[in-house]
Structures are given as C-alpha cells and as structure tokens.
C-alpha cells in the first residue's frame, strides 16, 4: 500500500534579505513525513531546522517551492488562512513552554479551543481529561509559576493536544529540563505516537534524544544531507 505523506516539502527555498545581502536559510529542501511518523530533525546552528519547523507549522511560507499539509498546498495562503490551519491541524510544544502566567494550567489548555469556538463546557471537560492524562489532575488549578519545569512542559503537551491536531511539533521540547525530567517528557511523546497514532516532528540538538524518534533527518546548509530510521527490537 502506497501511503501519502501528511506533510511534504518540495524544492523549498527560504531567503531572507538583509540590505543587499540574501541569506538562504533553506536551499531546495525536500521532506516527506507520513501519518504516524515520529521524526527528529537535527543539524548544526544555521542549518535551517527552525525555518523548516516554521514552514511545517504554518508560521511562515516559502520564498519558492511548495509545502503540502494533508494534500493542501499551503505555500500561497494568506496569514488568516494559515492561522485557521494552524489552529485545527498543528499542536506546538516549545522549549520555553510559552504558557500564560496569569492563567491556570486548566485555562492554558482550554485556550486554543476557545479560538476554535468550542463550547465552554466541552473545553473544560477536555482540558481536565488531558491534564489527568499527563498526571497533572491535582495541579490543574495551579498557575505556571507554581509548577516545576517538567510540570509546565506537561501542561504544554496537554495544550498541544487540546484541538486534537494531526501533527505535533516540538521545538527542543526538553531543552529547558534536567535529563531525568526530559526522559519523562519524551516518554509522554512516544506514548502519544505509539498509542494515539499522533504524527510528531521534533527539532533537537541532542543525539540521545533524536534516537528516541523513529526517523532522523539531518540538515546542513538548508538541505537534507542524511536520513536514517531507528530499528527497534
């Protein structure tokens, strides 16, 4: 059976103009991600990892080339249309957690659903369920500053799942955590991939972390230089 990629980047270029200088962050990048993949994207600083993540996450559009999400070419869409797709199809987990400090964990998880006009009772019930799933049922009314780093990242994972997205993007998701807490967060991500079938794409500098994924794509100078699959017994 020939599976179609849920995400496809085809000959994607991203060029930034800085005065008279043009900086090519991506140089003809080709990338296929299939439903249910757990992909780690690696590469040195300046390799184009974050730029590729921004394009996959509908946060930006390419200078040239095409980006397909569930078969739809998003590379020519307006920001309002990109925002709609982001809200429905993409869940984000950031290194800095990006939680709103004035809101409780429960309210942070409910917030993306509010932008999708989900009724308040459904928002609350789903947020409570997700926080219990990440073992924060007893902390859901605490604000971020009352939670540890690992707990904040688990709130961020719950928030990323709130609209039941097709794809979860993690930008150095354990970068601000100690190694033990990082392992706990990675275990949650692997569980989401294996048991829930979520497609996960993670940018990381950490070789050990990358090997927790199923596939690794290594970028250099805005292009794919190597691809590998992790064989598990």
Q: What domains can you pick out in the chain, each with its CATH number? A: 5-229 (3.40.50.300)
Q: What's the confidence (pLDDT) of residue 183?
A: 85
In this prediction the pTM is 0.88
Tokens read off for 156:
């961020």
Q: What's the confidence (pLDDT) of residue 174?
A: 85
Mean pLDDT by 10 residues, the chain (233 residues): 82 92 93 94 91 92 93 88 89 89 97 92 96 93 95 93 92 85 86 90 89 93 89 55
DSSP state of 146: G
The radius of gyration computed from the CA coordinates of the chain, to the nearest angstrom, equals: 18
Q: What's the confidence (pLDDT) of residue 233?
A: 44
pLDDT (tens digit per residue) in 113-146: 998 899 999 999 999 999 998 899 999 999 999 9
For the chain, the farthest-separated pair of C-alpha atoms sits apart, in whole angstroms, at: 56
27 touches 223 (CB < 8 A): yes
């Amino acid at each position: 059976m020939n599976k179609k990629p849920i995400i496809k980047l085809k000959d994607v270029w991203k060029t930034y103009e800085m005065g008279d200088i043009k900086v090519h962050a991506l140089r003809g990048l080709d990338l296929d991600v299939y439903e249910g993949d757990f992909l780690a994207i690696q590469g040195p600083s300046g390799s184009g990892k974050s730029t590729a993540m921004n394009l996959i996450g509908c946060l930006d559009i390419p200078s040239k080339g095409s980006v397909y999400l569930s078969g739809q070419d998003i590379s020519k869409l307006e920001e309002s249309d990109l925002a709609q797709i982001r809200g429905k199809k993409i869940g984000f987990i950031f290194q800095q957690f990006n939680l709103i400090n004035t809101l409780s964990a429960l309210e942070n998880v409910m917030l993306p659903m509010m932008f999708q006009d989900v009724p308040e009772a459904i928002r609350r019930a789903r947020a409570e369920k997700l926080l219990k799933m990440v073992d924060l049922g007893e902390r859901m009314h605490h604000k971020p500053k009352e939670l540890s780093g690992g707990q904040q990242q688990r709130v961020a994972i719950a928030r990323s799942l709130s609209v039941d997205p097709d794809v979860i993007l993690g930008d150095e998701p354990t970068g601000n955590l100690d190694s033990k807490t990082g392992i706990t967060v990675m275990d949650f991500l692997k569980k989401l991939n294996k048991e829930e079938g979520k497609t996960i794409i993670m940018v990381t500098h950490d070789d050990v972390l990358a090997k927790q994924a199923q596939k690794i794509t290594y970028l250099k100078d805005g292009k794919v230089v190597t691809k590998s699959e992790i064989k598990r017994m």
